[in-house]
Amino acid sequence: MLDHVRGKRSAVTCALKCDNICSRPACNTSDNDYFRDVASSALSRRQMLGAGAAGALALAVGAASDVAGAQPAAAKSWGASKLTFTPIEPVHHAVDGLIVPEGYTWEPIVRWGDGLFPDSPSFDPENQSADSQAKQFGYNNDYLEIQEVPGSNGRRALLFANHEYTNENIMFPDSTDEATRRAVGMAAHGMTAVEVTRKNRNDAWSVDVEGARNRRFTMDTEYTFDGPLRGSQLLATDDDPEGTTVRGTINNCAGGLTPWGTMLSGEENFHGYFVSDGTSEADRRYGITAEPTARGWEIDEPRFDTRNPGHEHEKNKFGWIVEVDPWDPESTPVKHTSLGRFNHEGATVIIADDGRAVAYSGDDARFEYLYKFVSRDAYVEDDREHNKTLLSEGDLYVARFTGGSPAGEIDGSGEVPSDGAFDGGGTWLPLIVDGESQVSGFSVEEVLVHTRLAADAVGATKMDRPEDVEPNPVTGTVYMACTNNSNRAAAGYPGVDEPNPRAKNRDGHVVEITEQGDQTSTRFGWTLLLVCGDPAQGDATYFSGFPADQVSPISCPDNVAFDSVGNLWISTDGMPGMGYCDGLFKVQLEGRDRGLVEQFLSVPAGAETCGPVIRDTQRTAFVAVQHPGEDGSWQAPQSYFPDYVDSDGDGRFALPRPSVVQVLKGRPKRGTADRRQRQLIGDAHSGGSLRRGPALG
């Protein structure tokens, strides 16, 4: 099964998350090529940091101060994080446990199926309905944000999560009919905002179903379009002749908290929900085919089969960055057309020196691109309604990376070139500037709806699956996770280059990007911070010069986050490719320990680690645990996370449930899920070896 996906995790993920996109030829067959630019690489990383970074720091910290309930303003200098821990050992990929460092414990905060409102039905997995699911926490939580409610003295917070996709194979007993599966699965997509409370600051958070801001976003929720494509014929359908609205959001992956306190969420593998005749250049480029979809929503809603008259443009209504204001439960979420349409992993915003908002977004597919948006208007402190319009109009760019080392030294092995680094310069190639298309033969509307084709035309650099891209709020330096690319340098595919230097890249890498000048610059420098892998298994790896035998092995970086002093945290999706469960890792970026990777936690068998939120000043962290036990079935589960309980004593344990988890300092208390898990599989810190669990063999 691992062979099938070579470095990704499982066939189930391929079918349900990405519509088997990896087993088909990569969609990007454009012939735009790789350019070397020795001149730009002559600038050192230090020079690239320049004066602009300090300005970015001041603005980022200032910007955070007017966010409702933002985490404490980032420290202005490097220092020690208060979230100190002894790294855990990597955990065998079949172990069904959430393993945290010695002296820490964990609690599920909200699980798939948990009620969100006073009238929510209790979770009854054998009798699910779309109506009940619409009042419960959805499936496969990915992006996560937790913001304290102002004035609550740290006792109330607003939790926001999106729900990327569904694992029907483990959600339902065999007796559930197909129509019910489709309806429940649809209702389990979308997003959730829910208030959480705690009695004391050291307690775990728990859901308050009475919270005034509790809200589920489902496929029936109305979204509005803004930006240049609003009102375009390319968005018009029989359901929406004006081309201004759409029902629902799908396959939301990562996201970002804006400086004005809203949430951004990326519509990623939207192609897997649509049928078309599959013959147009755009359909081929976006991977939309004439095959029935995995979930079959087109059976119930004609709009998902875009061959149906009047629904031809429905597919154009997905693949956008969505902005949600969870602080206003009556607000209509917005799809921003100005950021382009592609498989958005997510988007994150930083305020540049001149006040404009800059958003970075990766297109997560093999050989796709990195994009940057620069707002037309400037951020205005304390004018939240104005700031909520910043992503409506602006310039759109795509990245071209150039390497400085001789091509012969980039041989696909992952060996570092003789100048000691995979590094170089780059250019932000304009797609739209001042409201005008910069792409020959493309109108503004065409650039925005067929952004991949426009980026092909200007010669962007094909990357190894750009996932999360985030500026470090302490330094302004940007970090991009390139998760893997099994087809790099395979027969018929593009070869290696300095920013993607490994053939059949199983383990991925992390790119560090330093804008030349401020964040709006069209030039940048870059270096690979990490070339991931397991040195102990003989992989060619690079940890910015830190000794490879002293780091935790890491593979398939996916989401990135930062603590208050600017350390990078990385969650992974694909570690089973090297034999381990996925996890959360801290990476030091400065000083003697730059490149030191330390594993903080490991998620249960089959799960991916998503949505890391690091609150080191409160000595706590959160992760969204996605698809635990994804390769199992109702009859033969492969995980009991997060409850690890046989509640009625019939020998059958509770089914796995994607959940948001909080990790806290302290030993597990009697009766907690953490304690039950340790009894089932052993304690990672007691010297014994971990077991898989009684019924898992």
Contact residues: ligand FEO, CB under 6 A: 164, 253, 268, 345, 364, 467, 558
Binding partner at 598 among Ca ion, ligand FEO, none, C-beta below 5 to 8 Å by kind: none
Report in angstroms the alpha-carbon separations of 218 from 158, 253, 565: 19, 15, 37
Which residue(s) pair with 6 in the sheet?
8
Whether 452 and 27 have beta carbons less than 8 Å apart is answered as: yes
Residue 312: exposure state from Cβ atoms within 10 A (0-12, 13-18, ≥19): middle
Whether 395 and 436 have beta carbons less than 8 Å apart is answered as: no
- String marking each residue 393-432 x if it binds Ca ion according to CB under 5 A: -----------xx-----------x-x-x-x---------
Binding partner at 512 among ligand FEO, Ca ion, none, C-beta below 5 to 8 Å by kind: none
* CA 224 from centroid of its chain's CA atoms: 23
- Tell me how far, at minimum, the Cβ of 163 lies from ligand FEO, in Å: 12
- Tell me how far, at minimum, the Cβ of 12 lies from ligand FEO, in Å: 14
Judged by beta carbon, residue 323 or residue 558, the one nearer ligand FEO is: 558
Query: Under DSSP, is residue 317 helix (H, G, I), strand (E, B) or coil?
Result: helix
Binding partner at 534 among Ca ion, ligand FEO, none, C-beta below 5 to 8 Å by kind: none
Binding region for Ca ion (CB under 5 A) out of 9-17, 117-125, 219-227, 551-559: 551-559
Judged by beta carbon, residue 34 or residue 585, the one nearer ligand FEO is: 585
- Tell me how far, at minimum, the Cβ of 142 lies from Ca ion, in Å: 6
Judged by beta carbon, residue 323 or residue 467, the one nearer ligand FEO is: 467
Judged by beta carbon, residue 269 or residue 306, the one nearer ligand FEO is: 269
- Tell me how far, at minimum, the Cβ of 253 lies from ligand FEO, in Å: 3
- Tell me how far, at minimum, the Cβ of 558 lies from Ca ion, in Å: 4
> 438-450: b or e for each residue (b if 16 or more CB lie within 10 Å)?
bbeebebbbbbbb
Q: How far apart are CA 555 and CA 567, in angstroms?
A: 18
Q: How far apart are CA 431 and CA 436, in angstroms?
A: 9
Residues 6 or more apart in contact with residue 547 via CB below 8 angstroms? none
* CA torsion angle 550 555 561 566 (round to 10): 30
- Tell me how far, at minimum, the Cβ of 343 lies from ligand FEO, in Å: 7
- Tell me how far, at minimum, the Cβ of 266 lies from ligand FEO, in Å: 8
Judged by beta carbon, residue 44 or residue 280, the one nearer Ca ion is: 44
- Tell me how far, at minimum, the Cβ of 137 lies from ligand FEO, in Å: 18
Position 573 contacts Ca ion (CB under 5 A): yes
- For every residue of 282-307, DSSP letters joined together read HHHHHT-BSSPPSS-HHHH-GGGBTT
Q: How far apart are CA 84 and CA 107, in angstroms?
A: 19
- Tell me how far, at minimum, the Cβ of 18 lies from ligand FEO, in Å: 8
Binding partner at 353 among Ca ion, ligand FEO, none, C-beta below 5 to 8 Å by kind: none
Binding partner at 423 among ligand FEO, Ca ion, none, C-beta below 5 to 8 Å by kind: Ca ion
- For every residue of 230-257, DSSP letters joined together read TT-GGG-BTTBTTS-EEE----EEEEEE
- Tell me how far, at minimum, the Cβ of 557 lies from Ca ion, in Å: 9
Which residue(s) pair with 363 in the sheet?
344
Binding partner at 404 among ligand FEO, Ca ion, none, C-beta below 5 to 8 Å by kind: Ca ion
Binding partner at 419 among Ca ion, ligand FEO, none, C-beta below 5 to 8 Å by kind: Ca ion
Binding partner at 268 among ligand FEO, Ca ion, none, C-beta below 5 to 8 Å by kind: ligand FEO
Judged by beta carbon, residue 321 or residue 655, the one nearer Ca ion is: 321
Q: How far apart are CA 106 and CA 656, in angstroms?
A: 16
- Tell me how far, at minimum, the Cβ of 383 lies from ligand FEO, in Å: 33
Whether 86 and 642 have beta carbons less than 8 Å apart is answered as: no
Binding partner at 146 among ligand FEO, Ca ion, none, C-beta below 5 to 8 Å by kind: none
Binding partner at 55 among Ca ion, ligand FEO, none, C-beta below 5 to 8 Å by kind: none
Secondary structure of 674-695 in HEC code, one letter for each residue:
HHHHHHHHCCCCCCCCCCCCHH
Binding partner at 393 among Ca ion, ligand FEO, none, C-beta below 5 to 8 Å by kind: none
Judged by beta carbon, residue 28 or residue 438, the one nearer Ca ion is: 28
Backbone dihedral angles phi then psi of residue 371, each to the nearest 5 degrees: -120, 155
How many Cα neighbours within 13 Å face the side chain of 696? 27
Residue 135 identity: K
Judged by beta carbon, residue 427 or residue 555, the one nearer ligand FEO is: 555
Say how many residues touch Ca ion, by CB under 5 A: 9
Q: Judged by CB under 5 A, which of 558, 582, 598, 630 binds Ca ion?
A: 558
- Tell me how far, at minimum, the Cβ of 361 lies from ligand FEO, in Å: 11
- Tell me how far, at minimum, the Cβ of 268 lies from ligand FEO, in Å: 5
Judged by beta carbon, residue 314 or residue 345, the one nearer ligand FEO is: 345
Whether 90 and 580 have beta carbons less than 8 Å apart is answered as: yes
Q: Which residues, numbered 299-358, are part of the site for Ca ion (CB under 5 A)? A: none
* CA torsion angle 434 440 442 443 (round to 10): 40
Binding partner at 449 among ligand FEO, Ca ion, none, C-beta below 5 to 8 Å by kind: none
Q: How far apart are CA 625 and CA 12, in angstroms?
A: 16
- Tell me how far, at minimum, the Cβ of 219 lies from ligand FEO, in Å: 18
Whether 385 and 261 have beta carbons less than 8 Å apart is answered as: no
Judged by beta carbon, residue 446 or residue 573, the one nearer ligand FEO is: 573
Judged by beta carbon, residue 134 or residue 253, the one nearer ligand FEO is: 253
Q: How many CB atoms lie within 10 A of CB 62?
A: 14
Judged by beta carbon, residue 5 or residue 183, the one nearer ligand FEO is: 5
Binding partner at 365 among Ca ion, ligand FEO, none, C-beta below 5 to 8 Å by kind: none
Whether 402 and 410 have beta carbons less than 8 Å apart is answered as: no
Binding partner at 609 among ligand FEO, Ca ion, none, C-beta below 5 to 8 Å by kind: none
Residue 291: exposure state from Cβ atoms within 10 A (0-12, 13-18, ≥19): exposed
- Tell me how far, at minimum, the Cβ of 460 lies from Ca ion, in Å: 21
Q: Which residues, numbered 248-267, are part of the site for Ca ion (CB under 5 A)? A: 253
Which is nearest to 519 in space by CA: 380, 676, 357, 645? 357
- Tell me how far, at minimum, the Cβ of 464 lies from ligand FEO, in Å: 12
Q: How far apart are CA 607 and CA 142, in angstroms?
A: 11
Binding partner at 561 among ligand FEO, Ca ion, none, C-beta below 5 to 8 Å by kind: none
Whether 107 and 576 have beta carbons less than 8 Å apart is answered as: no
* CA torsion angle 421 430 365 91 (round to 10): 40
Judged by beta carbon, residue 393 or residue 558, the one nearer ligand FEO is: 558
What length is written for the chain?
A: 697
Judged by beta carbon, residue 157 or residue 322, the one nearer Ca ion is: 322
Binding partner at 696 among Ca ion, ligand FEO, none, C-beta below 5 to 8 Å by kind: none
Judged by beta carbon, residue 446 or residue 468, the one nearer Ca ion is: 468
Judged by beta carbon, residue 267 or residue 283, the one nearer ligand FEO is: 267
- Give the footprint of Ca ion on this chain (CB under 5 A): 253, 404-405, 417, 419, 421, 423, 558, 573
